[in-house]
Amino acid sequence: MSNIRKAFENGKAFIPFITCGDPDLETTEKLIYAMVEAGADLIELGIPFSDPMAEGPVIQEGNIRALKNDVTTDMVFDMVVRVRKTVKIPMVFMTYANVLFSYDLDRFAAKCKEVGIDGVILPDVPYEEKEEFDKPFSKYDLDVISLVAPTSKNRIKSIAKDAKGFLYIVSSLGVTGVRSEITTDIKAMVDLAKEVNDIPCAVGFGISNPKTAKEMAEKSDGAIVGSAIVKICKEYGRDCVYPVAKFVKEMKDAIR
Amino acid sequence: MGKGRFGVHGGQYISETLMNAVLELEEAYNKYKNDPDFNRELEELLNQYAGRPSRLYYAERMTRDLNGAKIYLKREDLNHTGAHKVNNALGQVLLAKKMGKTRVIAETGAGQHGVATATVAAMMGMECEIFMGKEDCERQALNVYRMKLLGAKVHPVTSGTATLKDAVSETFREWTGRIEDTHYVIGSCMGPYPFPTIVRDFQAVISKEIKEQMLKAEGRLPDAVVACVGGGSNAIGTFYNFIEDKDVRLIGCEAAGRGIDTWETAATISTGKLGIFHGMKSYFCQNEYGQIAPVYSISAGLDYPGIGPEHAYLHDIGRAEYVAITDDEAVDAFEYLSRTEGIIPAIESAHAIAYAIKEAPKMDKDKIMVVTVSGRGDKDVAAIARYRGEDLYE
C-alpha cells in the first residue's frame, strides 16, 4: 500500500491539481510548497501531454504552455526530487498513457518510486486496460488510481473493488472544467463503492468554489480541483503562487 | 489486456465515462452484424443510395503507358458523395439509428467523411455535428459549405494543430459530454474497440467486390492491391478479403509530405513508434517523450499521426507493405491520372496512383495490380493549382 491514504487522515481531503511547467518549473516548485502550507492534503502533478483528451480548454492550454517551455518527463522527475526534500504529503502524477508508455512503463514506475511519487492517475486507461499499468506500479507499492464516472453504473462495484489509494469520482459527463452545478448523485456512487471496498473517495471535475467543494466533500472523502487553479496560473503567470495558495486555503477551510 | 486486439495493437484506451458507450456499441454491433434484416437494409442503401457496386475499371491507357503490370482502378470515387467514406457512414448511422440514437457526431480531415456523415444523417433524419480542424476548414472550404447545405453544424477546431488529430480529440470530448442520444461515427479504422472492427467490416465491401469483379474479368485474383493510408479505412477495405490470399500483395501508401527524412511528414509506419493515443495502441508519430508530433501532408485526409491497429498488425507480421509517397509524387500522379485516364483522383488517392506509376513498370505484363481510387479530386483542384503556382481560389 502506498502513502496515499495518509491524505485522508486529516479530515476531508483537499486535492489540488497543477500542470508541471505552467508557467515554468520553478513556479511549479514554489506552488507545491505554497499549497502544502495552505493545507493541501495530496497534490496532483500534471505531466504535460500534447493531446489531453479528457481535458477542457483551461487545462489543455496549461499543457500547451508547459510544452512550449520544452518541459519533459525527466525535467518533471528532477523537480520532484528537489521538492521531496521537504514536502511530506502524498503526491501523484496525472497524465496520459502515452507519456508513461513512451518512457517504458517499468522504468517510469521505478523512477516514481525513486523520486517519491505515490501513484498515477491516467484518464485514458479504463478498468479494461488497467492491468498493463498496474503490474509495474504494484511492484513498487505504488497505486494506479481508478476512476468512476456518472455513466459507470453497473461497473462501479468491480472498479471500486480493485481500486487502490483512493477512488476518483468523476462528478459529471464531459471533460474537465468549471461547472455551474453538479447534478450527479455523488452520494449513491460513493455508497456503492464503499459497499465493496473501504477506500477513500474523492470527487473531481467541475469543482471551482468553496461552496461546491463543501457539498462534494460532505458526500465523499475529499474534493479535487484542477481547472480553477490552472485558470489562476494563466491569469497571474509567475505571480500565481500567492493567489493559488489563498484559493487552496479557502477551499480547505470550507471542507475541513 | 483488454478486448479488440490485433497482435499487441488496438484495445480500449479511453475515459471511463465512455466505456459503457463503447460496450453498448459492441453489443449492438454483435447483434446486428449477422442480422439478415439489417444486412438487407444496408445492402439496399449501398446499392440504391450510394450507387454500389463501384466499378472495377481497366485503365488501358495507363497500363500501356507504364508498360508493365495490367492496372485496374477500383472506382470508389464514383460513390455518392465521391468517396469510400459513404460505405462506413451508411453502416454506422444505420446502426446508430437501430440503437435508438437521434444524433451523430463525426470528425473530418479533408471533409469527405464529414460530407458522407452529413449526407447519411440528412437522409435518415438524424441530427448531425461535424468537427473539423480550423486549418482544414480553410483548405477545404467547399466541403464545409457542403456539410452546412446538408443540414449539419460544423465546428472549426482550434485546439492543438487544428487538423485531423485535433478534430478526433474534440469529437471524443464532445461525445464524453453527451452520450445518451449520440453516436460518434468514427471515420477510419481506428479509435477504441469496436470501432476499428466495425469500420473495417463496413469498408470490406471494397475488397469483396474487387474479388468478384476480378474473377469475372480475368478469371483470377490480382497480384497486388494498392490503396492510400491515413487512418487506413479505404486500405483495410481494399485489403480485407485478400488477407487470406497469401499470393496477393497488399500495399498501403502513406503520406510522406515533404519527405520521411523531414519533420513535415505524416508517414506513421516509416517514422512512428508504438504508442497509445485516440483510444488505441498502434504506431504514432511522436517524440521521445511520447508527445504526438505535428504531422504534415498536402492531403488533409492523410494528415494524421497514427494508423489503424489492424494495419499496424499487418505490418508487424509482414502481410502488408507500407510505402511512403511525397507531396511531389502525389501531385504528379494527380495530374497524370487526370491526363491519362480522364479521372481526377482525390489527392489522398493520388498517393496510391503514384505508387502504381513507380511499381507497375517493374512488374511483368502478365501481372495484375488493382489501385483503389478512394475519392474524386474535385475538392483538391484549387489546392493543386496553388501548389503549381496558380493563384486560384474557390
Question: Quick check: B2 pLDDT over 70?
Answer: no
Does residue A203 form part of some domain?
yes
| Portions of chain B given CATH number 3.40.50.1100 | 5-46+84-199, 53-82+204-387
pLDDT digits (tens, 9 = 90+) for B102-133: 999 999 988 999 999 999 999 999 999 999 99
> The domain containing residue A237 runs over which residues?
12-249
- pLDDT score for B221: 98
Is this structure's pTM higher than 0.95? yes
Does residue A154 form part of some domain?
yes
Among residues A228, A224, A217, the alpha carbon closest in space to that of A254 is found at A217
- Residue A22 burial by Cβ neighbours in a 10 Å radius (0-12, 13-18, 19+): buried
Interface test with A, best of B1, B12, B13 (most A CBs within 10 A): B13
Instruction: Please name the residues between 19 and 38 in chain B that touch chain A, using a CB distance below 8 Å.
Output: 19-21
pLDDT digits (tens, 9 = 90+) for B36-46: 999 999 999 99
pLDDT digits (tens, 9 = 90+) for B76-99: 999 999 999 999 999 999 999 999
- pLDDT score for B1: 54
Do strands B368-373 and B70-75 pair parallel, antiparallel, or not at all (unpaired)?
Answer: parallel
Q: Does A107 touch chain B (CB under 8 A)?
A: no
CATH of B5-46+84-199, one of 3.40.50.1100, 3.40.50.450, 3.20.20.70, 1.20.120.1200: 3.40.50.1100
pLDDT digits (tens, 9 = 90+) for B288-346: 999 999 999 999 889 999 999 999 999 999 999 999 999 999 999 999 999 999 999 99
Q: Does B338 touch chain A (CB under 8 A)?
A: no
Residues of chain A with Cβ-Cβ distance to B15 below 8 Å are 53-54, 123-124, 126, 147, 149, 170
- Residue A88 burial by Cβ neighbours in a 10 Å radius (0-12, 13-18, 19+): exposed
Question: Quick check: A252 pLDDT over 70?
Answer: yes
- Residue A187 burial by Cβ neighbours in a 10 Å radius (0-12, 13-18, 19+): exposed
A57–B19 C-beta distance less than 8 A: no
pLDDT digits (tens, 9 = 90+) for B230-260: 999 999 999 999 999 999 999 999 999 999 9
Q: Does A54 touch chain B (CB under 8 A)?
A: yes
Assign residue A226 the CATH number of its domain. 3.20.20.70
Instruction: Please name the residues between 114 and 173 in chain B that touch chain A, using a CB distance below 8 Å.
Output: 159-160, 165-166, 169, 172-173
What 3-state class would DSSP assign to B133? strand
Does residue A254 form part of some domain?
no
Q: Contacts from B18-21 at CB under 8 Å and sequence distance 24+?
A: B18/A151, B18/B172, B18/B175, B18/B176, B18/B179, B18/B192, B19/A126, B19/A127, B19/A128, B19/A149, B19/A151, B19/A152, B19/A155, B20/A151, B20/A152, B20/A153, B20/A154, B20/A155, B20/B179, B21/A151, B21/B175, B21/B179
Query: Please, which residues have CB within 8 angstroms of residue A75's CB and are 6 or more apart in sequence?
Result: A21, A25
Distance from CA of A100 to the nearest CA of B (A): 8
A150–B2 C-beta distance less than 8 A: no
Nearest Cα residue in chain B from A130: B1
Active site residues of B: 85, 107, 374
Q: Does A157 touch chain B (CB under 8 A)?
A: no
Domain count along chain A: 1
If pLDDT is split at 50, 70 and 90, which confidence band does B392 have? confident
Nearest Cα residue in chain B from A133: B1
Does residue A5 form part of some domain?
no
- pLDDT score for B394: 62
Instruction: Please name the residues between 11 and 40 in chain A that touch chain B, using a CB distance below 8 Å.
Output: none
Nearest Cα residue in chain A from B162: A51
pLDDT digits (tens, 9 = 90+) for B356-377: 999 999 999 999 999 999 999 9
- What's the CATH architecture for B53-82+204-387? 3-Layer(aba) Sandwich (3.40)
